[in-house]
Structure 1
Amino acid sequence: MATPEQARTAAAIPGGTPDIVAAGTLCWRIDKGKLEVLLIHRPRYQDWSWPKGKLDPGETTPECAVRETSEEIGLRVQLGLPLPSIRYAVAAGSKVVHYWAAHAGRSTAVPDGKEADGIRWCSPETARGMLSNPSDIEPLEALVDAHTRNDLLTWPLLVVRHAKAQPRSSWSRAEGERPLAATGRRQAVAVSRLLQAWAPERILSSPWVRCVQTVSPYVTKHNAKLKLVDALTESDAARRPGRARSAVEKAFDKRKSVAVCTHRPVLPLVFGVLRTHMTAQLAALLPTDDPYLSPGEAVICQVSSTNHGRIVSVEQYRAYDD
């Protein structure tokens, strides 16, 4: 059974639901002022390609892309710009591969010897001639185009709706103390796995229990900095919406990866701020209808590192829910 995230992805690609879903990365770096990308040689197929592989059960495509890159070439990457997905025929039917740009920096890639027995850093021009699958050129062209616009180097800003909480009707104490339900606690673990794909260094969260419980598995595992922001609570945002907007606006100031965890009624204020940082075309991708996001669902924006405050991509994923 496809995850909700997979189902949305498949619906967005002509041709219906694919038989095989895979994900991977185009790792890149700047060497002596020139853009280089990383190709891998796959002994099984005797071809040159990008690091990629099929989804494991209970895995979203972003998680798969990071895992496969780590397994095949030993790089633990954080996802950057989403790149065009490609679709092609295989023996089992149709296959879709979802790609992201991934800045490798000074990290060293080492092929695992099984899935990849060789690697090569090369210019985009050389990569075009080496790629065995012609459709692999499309995400490369998008990466080069982003580099030309000075928008390839980015940092992520994530917006997360807290996981499923206990029903209001069964809670008699203070609203801020209402915790996650049992399914919500499982969702919080899945949210942690999803966030790892972008590895936010900071978490801005409503101090209400259900939000803190949603981000705690990630904060604990990755030693992220957690800041509790009263302006992101339902009650404070309703009384003083300007404070909630200001808290989101300040998330841009440090120009470092950050996730914001809040409540359904606060999401329109959050998205309203994000819209001021992006084109109308991208703004159309943000949720507009209540409930905006499902519990445990996230919107991921990539913000240009060179064009301060400009959001250059929007994605939406739901953590795997059993």
Structure 2
Amino acid sequence: MESVDGAGASPAEETAPSVIAAGAICWRKEQGQLEVLLIHRPRYADWSWPKGKLDPGETTPECAVREVEEEVGLRISLGIPLASTIYPVASGPKVVYYWAARTERMEVHPDGKEVDRFLWVAPGRAAELLTNPTDREPLESLLAAHEADQLETWPLIVVRHAKATPRSSWTRAEGDRPLAATGRRQAAAVSRLLEAWGPSRVVSSPWERCVQTIAPYLKSKDIKLKLADSITERNAGRKPDKARSTVEKLFDKRRPVALCTHRPVLPLVFGVLRRHLPESLGTALPVDDPYLAPGEVLISHVSSKTPGRIVAVEQFRAYDD
């Protein structure tokens, strides 16, 4: 289950698609000018964007990252969501979700099968070359974000810990209550999902269920975990200002970060994020309990040009048992 607010609002919300796909518009700055990556697909004899259908059990962000790597050899991290497209295919409506992906100093290597050629071109030239008119929609949203200085961003990701052993069946210290079997599977799925944005910092409540949720990602990236006592259920309830301060400090270093905490702490977290939202995104954050499902993540895309300003918000549930 997933939802998007901001730049990536889906045109397909009222139409149940029969085919779901995802991709990215890779972009770079060349001598200060914006360029985007177009691909040529010999099977269709067209110019398009790297994209493809979801694999079983895959989320759309994971699919977008995988397809770009498979088709053009680029390992990307996702930026802001862009406009999605919907068009008819033989089996019914097909929706394609897109993200922006900055790819400075990266070499393109077409796979030779799905993609045989590529071009780095200015957005105006890309619009002329694109074969499918609907492919211009995500390009237009990327260009609008660029003109508004909202294309260059970094992600601040909030993770609710995965499903834990029930309180009713746990007799030891609350901080030691671990993940249930479902929760351990969710933790592995959370790790795969986080790879789409690649946070280089992880901050977590030290309670066992939070640490276990984020552990697979830490292992896959070989990065250190910063524990924050202020965002445990107990301490956040006693000293909410300290919990808010922990969240506020995430904005200071201006680089990708994930925060793992508990359901009762989420209103405090979102309260801080809300201060950084423009009016246009005023309803982008959850307001109703439980705010996020176990193992669900919320991604705030923070402007690199305007420190502290959130320009887009997304939610994704990595695994639903």
* Common fold by TM > 0.5: yes
Residues 11 and 85, structure 2, Cα contact 8 Å, conserved in 1: no
Identical-residue share of aligned pairs (%): 64
Structure 1 regions of 5+ residues with no counterpart? none
Q: Are 2:73 and 1:74 equivalent residues in the alignment?
A: yes
Matched residues in 1 for 2:28 and 2:10: separation? 33
Q: Secondary structure at the match of 1:83?
A: coil
Q: Are 2:97 and 1:98 equivalent residues in the alignment?
A: yes
Q: Are 2:81 and 1:62 equivalent residues in the alignment?
A: no
Matched residues in 2 for 1:11 and 1:151: separation? 19
Q: Counterpart in 2 of 1:224?
A: 223
Instruction: Give the CA deviation at 1:253.
Output: 0.4
Matches within 5 A, 1:80-159: 80-159=79-158
Q: CA, structure 1 residues 10+173, in 2 after alignment: closer, same or farther (shift >3 Å)?
A: same
Matched residues in 2 for 1:234 and 1:14: separation? 35
Matched residues in 2 for 1:244 and 1:105: separation? 36
Residues 10 and 16, structure 1, Cα contact 8 Å, conserved in 2: no
Matches within 5 A, 1:254-293: 254-293=253-292
Q: Counterpart in 2 of 1:241?
A: 240
Q: Counterpart in 2 of 1:161?
A: 160
Deviations 1:90-128 (A, max 9, x none): 111110000000000111111001110111000001000
Q: CA, structure 1 residues 259+14, in 2 after alignment: closer, same or farther (shift >3 Å)?
A: closer
Q: Secondary structure at the match of 2:83?
A: strand
Using structure 1 for the length normalisation, give the TM-score: 0.96
Matched residues in 2 for 1:214 and 1:283: separation? 29
Residues 161 and 263, structure 1, Cα contact 8 Å, conserved in 2: yes
Q: Counterpart in 2 of 1:170?
A: 169
Using structure 2 for the length normalisation, give the TM-score: 0.97
Q: Secondary structure at the match of 1:84?
A: coil
Q: Are 2:319 and 1:307 equivalent residues in the alignment?
A: no
Q: CA, structure 1 residues 53+220, in 2 after alignment: closer, same or farther (shift >3 Å)?
A: same
The answer to which of 106-115 and 4-13 deviates more is: 4-13
Q: CA, structure 1 residues 106+68, in 2 after alignment: closer, same or farther (shift >3 Å)?
A: same
How many residue pairs were aligned?
319
RMSD across aligned positions (CA): 1.6
Q: Counterpart in 1 of 2:2?
A: 5
Residues 79 and 155, structure 2, Cα contact 8 Å, conserved in 1: yes
Q: CA, structure 1 residues 248+14, in 2 after alignment: closer, same or farther (shift >3 Å)?
A: closer
Residues 6 and 61, structure 1, Cα contact 8 Å, conserved in 2: no
Amino acid at match of 1:85: S
